[in-house]
Amino acid sequence: MAGAIKLLILEDKEEDAILLIYELKRAGYLPEWKRVDCQTTFLDGLEEHWDIILADYALPQFDGLQALEYIKLHNIDIPFILVSGSMGEEIAVEAMKMGANDYLLKDRLARLPSAVQHALDQNKLQREKTRLEAALLQNQKMEAVGKLAGGIAHDFNNLLTIIIGSAELAESELANDHPVQKRLNTIQHASERAVGIIKQLLTFARKPLVHTKESNVKLLLAETCQLLIPILADQTKVNLINETDQMVKVDPGQLQQVLINLAINARDAMPAGGQIDIQTGTEVVDLEYVVNGNSIKPGEYVTISIRDSGQGIPYEIQSRVFDPFFTTKDVGKGTGLGLAISYDIVSKCGGFISLVSQPGAGSNFTIHLPKIDSSIGHTPMLSPHNDKLIGHECLLLVDDEEQILEMVSEVLINMGYRVLTAKSGLDAISVFENCGSKIDLLVTDLSMPGMGGLELANELQRRDSSLKVLFITGYHENFEQGHNDKPMPGVVLEKPFSNNLLGSIVREVLAD
């Protein structure tokens, strides 16, 4: 595998260095080389890039073993071969223990080309091994972060459910012009921002439940920009050109995370500050083609572009920016997962992300999502007293969090339901057995001490196959897969949720 090669040669005799180069040229190598003969010139030479170091064992003031010790001490990743006119076996063994790739005698240089190639191959394998080990370590860290984030999210989402639900209950009891209404609105808006923060925490830590629905790009982008305010640096200006009232079918939370990730990358590309332009539009794709291994179908796409005024991305790495674990950030400042996950999210929606960047002229990432034809506008908020939310059925509500139990129970009772409550799975079974009348719907938390919601649902449906189930959860861990690859025996609603959303889902489950 001969070819171009760069060598740093530690040798005090120029004629010996020329002999080394001669042997390599005979084997087909095209060497670019530099000879150094003392510690000072050797250390200066290390400032440049080299494929391999060839070092004489015996020099007057700075020998090959000292040079080897230096590069190993400073973790300099360059293959190292010792060359000597006379080197005993003990010294050779010691050199190999220190990390030398090989050793040669000057009167047996015919083996030099194969030794060089072997050292280069060894180094390549070691680098790949190191990369894979780092990727494995990062995966293990992400798994640990996911477990930690899951615990935090479960408790935090429970608290947010109580805050949001209680604020909505209080608001429904006050006149529209009551001075407390403004305070309650502030609580609700702050809670919505807290929900966004929790979603950011969980996005890269676990596989989220995907709730795909028709969404208005203009409204979604306006909400996202509010989330960006506390994230972007003060010296980063955001220019929003958001005039496209188009509909796409996405999970709004996931798309917001993609937009936030791209905006954060844009911010990081401008450490001294700059401008981020976010613009919506449409684009027609006439022919089918492939982007990053994904087939792109012809059609009309809604576009969201995020353009920064940073230094841009070098041409030679632009094709790799969506590769997992590839990052241009310093060690510890980036996982190399953000863009890969973002691309995966958009691809699953039938879209793709394109990149246009010129070094020194910033970068422009553009999200393309298939446009759908649908009516545009806000989904009307339903009053708790709206006829569409009123029910009369008997519900069994189960949650180990007492405040959630009280708040959700009050909401459902206000909607007309008869509500039985239990604080655990075992208590719920007792209530079910002693009810004396039919229970139409089980509303249960998924994660509870002892008997969890899934086990409870299976047990109660074994006793009454017509029982319908609504799971509520502050954090899930692939619960959509069910148990033992069986489908979930009910619908999953993630906390926190509004009272209106709870009422709507309850009616949908009962009507199904």
Say whether pLDDT at 15 is over 80.
yes
Residue range 139-154, pLDDT digits in tens: 677 667 667 776 777 7
Is the distance from CB of 338 to CB of 407 less than 8 angstroms?
no
Residue range 180-215, pLDDT digits in tens: 888 888 887 788 777 766 765 665 455 555 667 788
Does residue 187 form part of some domain?
no
Region 370-398 average pLDDT: 66
- Residues 470, 484: Cα–Cα separation, whole Å: 20
Does residue 176 form part of some domain?
no
Does residue 490 form part of some domain?
yes
Say whether pLDDT at 464 is over 50.
yes
pLDDT at 169: 86
Residues 346 and 427 in one domain: no
Residues 357 and 399 in one domain: no
Distances (CA, A) of 286 to 273, 295, 298: 38, 13, 5
Residues 218 and 342 in one domain: yes
Residue positions counted in the chain: 512
Say whether pLDDT at 17 is over 70.
yes
Say whether pLDDT at 115 is over 60.
yes
Instruction: Annotate 360-382 with three-state secondary structure.
Output: CCCEEEEEEEECECCCCCCCCCC
Residues 343 and 229 in one domain: yes
Query: Domain tally for the chain?
Result: 3
pLDDT at 136: 78
pLDDT at 332: 42
Does residue 377 form part of some domain?
no
Does residue 352 form part of some domain?
yes
Name the residue range of residue 19's domain: 4-126
- Residues 453, 32: Cα–Cα separation, whole Å: 69
Residues 251 and 366 in one domain: yes
Residues 363 and 224 in one domain: yes
pLDDT at 298: 81
Residue 397's DSSP bridge partners are 421, 443
Does residue 9 form part of some domain?
yes
Residues 394 and 495 in one domain: yes
Residue range 98-113, pLDDT digits in tens: 889 998 888 889 999 9
Residues 336 and 430 in one domain: no
Residues 218 and 358 in one domain: yes
Residues 392 and 496 in one domain: yes
pLDDT at 196: 67
* 335-357 burial code (b ≥16 CB/10 A, e <16): bbbbbbbbbebbbebbbbbebeb
Residues 263 and 349 in one domain: yes
Lowest mean pLDDT among 122-131, 332-341, 360-369: 332-341
Does residue 183 form part of some domain?
no
CATH of the domain at 306: 3.30.565.10
Residue 425, token pair as written in the block: 């799975």
Residue range 48-107, pLDDT digits in tens: 999 999 999 888 888 889 999 999 999 899 999 998 877 777 788 888 888 899 988 888
Residue range 348-382, pLDDT digits in tens: 888 888 888 888 788 888 988 888 875 443 333 34
Say whether pLDDT at 334 is over 80.
no
Residue 472, token pair as written in the block: 């509520």
Domain boundary among 79, 99, 126: 126
Say whether pLDDT at 172 is over 70.
yes
pLDDT at 79: 94
Is the distance from CB of 39 to CB of 46 less than 8 angstroms?
no
Residue range 247-305, pLDDT digits in tens: 888 888 788 878 888 888 888 888 878 888 888 888 888 766 555 455 677 888 888 89
Does residue 193 form part of some domain?
no
Domain boundary among 126, 146, 163: 126
Domain boundary among 126, 147, 176: 126
Say whether pLDDT at 384 is over 50.
no
Residues 323 and 394 in one domain: no
CATH of the domain at 472: 3.40.50.2300
